[in-house]
Amino acid sequence: MGDPLRVAIAGLGTVGSGTVRLIEANAGLLAARTGREIVITAVADLDPRDRGFATESYRWYDNALAMAENTDADVIVELIGGAEGIARKVCETAIARGRHVVTANKALIAHHGTDLARAAEAAGVTLAYEAAVGGGIPVIKSLREGLVGNACERVYGILNGTCNYILTAMRESGRGFQEVLAEAQALGYAEADPSFDVDGVDTAHKLAILASVAFGCTVDFAAVHIEGIRQISADDIAFADELGYRIKLLGIAKRTPAGVERRVHPCMVPLGSPIAHVEGVFNAVVADGDFVDTIIQVGRGAGERPTASAVVADIADIARGNRVATFAVSAAELAALPAASMQNHRGAYYVRLMVLDKPGVFADIAAILRDHDVSMEAVIQRARAPGEAVPVVMTTHETAESAMTHCLAAIQRLPFCQEAPHMIRIEPF
């Protein structure tokens, strides 16, 4: 048995407490597998309230930065959260003092991952963040190590359990977004302020990280195109069903001749696609490797126990001495790949219109599509109500996003169009 690995944990909330509990519960298993005892030497949080374990067993700090500055631990585990402030300072300080860092903080890695990786590499320490993407799914390890022999052209997934829960519940119950969101908040599946989740920011943090690992590029959160799920209506969900699709909030990173697409938005995915059946709070990550073909991993993307599982996997790697470049290639060699503009994106589209039911409507819409070289695949008008507003849905064949943007602007100007057209991209997975 080697020397014990000393671990100090900053932040004892959901993930921090879970991490302590896992290390306590599976100490023997971890020692047998890593060849070293993993020993928690210090913990830090704002107050020593009941955390579900004996906090007095460990050296207590009520200042996480003081712990990072003074502890003799080999590893500092940052589980406070936030892209700036204390979490960033704790990680920077730990690296500067030659300590390995493990974090679950996707916001921090999405915004400062490249700089932190460079600092860690210069200091000769590990910066590990498995828990930042996909919760308990070992997605970083599988992309970076399991698929090391593959060129990866695309990685995508359902990366936010809150959104997937809301979309699943909307479909199963036929209820609208606001009602289901309120229920998700009451059940603890959504935060009191749900904007990071439902507006797509959390998914974008994770996607920026995935793109970096998959393509060996700098972590470029600013390059991510972000749309959330607030505009998805019960009608969209019902029409999707009728057309043979499920609506999912996806993060998609793809290499194209025009640059790297990094986009987060609701998508219609065919019912035949495995990802269409990943429901509720589950996450899924799909990667295309040139030799392995397509792999899909599904699991719990959040929660105390799954996230602690990922945090401890990183700690175990450090205990074993497994050293891998933070984002698969040396931080010094991460490429700043050009970003593809959304207007260059090509794909099929679903469009929902609210139009007055009167003669000539379809002819005018068809003329606009024809003028922009957009070819319609299907049209659905459920009910007739002459002179009144009715929903009309159409899907297109593959076309350029720029053409769709112009079409929707022109359709919105038509006198019978009662509200802004709503568009959802169709992905042929």
Ligand X SMILES: NC(=O)c1ccc[n+]([C@@H]2O[C@H](COP(=O)([O-])OP(=O)(O)OC[C@H]3O[C@@H](n4cnc5c(N)ncnc54)[C@H](OP(=O)(O)O)[C@@H]3O)[C@@H](O)[C@H]2O)c1
Q: What is the number of other CB atoms lying within 10 angstroms of the CB of residue 201?
A: 19
Which tokens in the block code for residue 41? 């030497």
Among the listed residues 2, 69, 67, 1, the one whose alpha carbon sits nearest the alpha carbon of residue 40? 67
CB of 79 to ligand X, least distance (A): 5
Q: Is 102 in the site for ligand X (CB under 6 A)?
A: no
| Alpha carbon distance 403, 410 (integer Å) | 11
Q: Contact with ligand X (CB under 6 A): which of 105, 160, 309, 395?
A: 105
Q: Where are the beta strands (DSSP E) in 69-181?
A: 75-78, 100-103, 127-128, 152-158
According to DSSP, the β-strands at 75-78 and 100-103 are parallel
Listed ranges 145-153, 241-249, 299-307, 364-372: which one lies at the site for ligand X (CB under 6 A): 299-307
Catalytic residue ranges: 206
Confirm or reject binding of residue 197 to ligand X (CB under 6 A).
Answer: no
Which of 131, 287, 407, 408 touches ligand X (CB under 6 A)? 131
**Taking the alpha carbons of 364, 366, 369, 372 in that order, is the dihedral positive or negative?**
negative
Closest C-alpha among 162, 258, 262 to residue 209: 262
- Residues 253-292, mask of contacts with ligand X (x by CB under 6 A): ----------------------------------------
In the complex with ligand X, the residue whose CB is nearer, 135 or 251, is 135
Residue count, binding to ligand X (CB under 6 A): 23
CA distance 203 to 229: 12
Neighbouring CB atoms inside 10 A of 344's CB total 14
Assess 81 for contact with ligand X (CB under 6 A). yes
Q: Compare residues 17 and 395 and give the one whose CB is closer to ligand X.
A: 17
By Cβ distance, which residue is nearest to ligand X? 13
- Residues in contact with ligand X, shown as a per-residue x/- string from 31 to 50 under the rule CB under 6 A: -------------xxx----
CB of 129 vs ligand X, minimal distance in Å: 9
Q: Which residue has the tokens 């009520």?
A: 62
Phi/psi zone of residue 105: left (φ > 0), alpha (ψ -120 to 50 degrees), beta? beta
Closest-CA residue to 74 (of 92, 97, 90, 48): 97
Report if residue 116 touches ligand X, rule: CB under 6 A: no
Contact segment (CB under 6 A) with ligand X among 73-81, 169-177, 180-188, 355-363 equals 73-81
Q: Say what angle helices 14-25 and 27-34 make with each other, to 10 degrees.
A: 70
- Site track 136-175 with ligand X (rule: CB under 6 A), x = hit: ----------------------------------------
Binding interface with ligand X (CB under 6 A): 10-16, 44-46, 64, 79-81, 86, 104-106, 131, 135, 302-303, 307
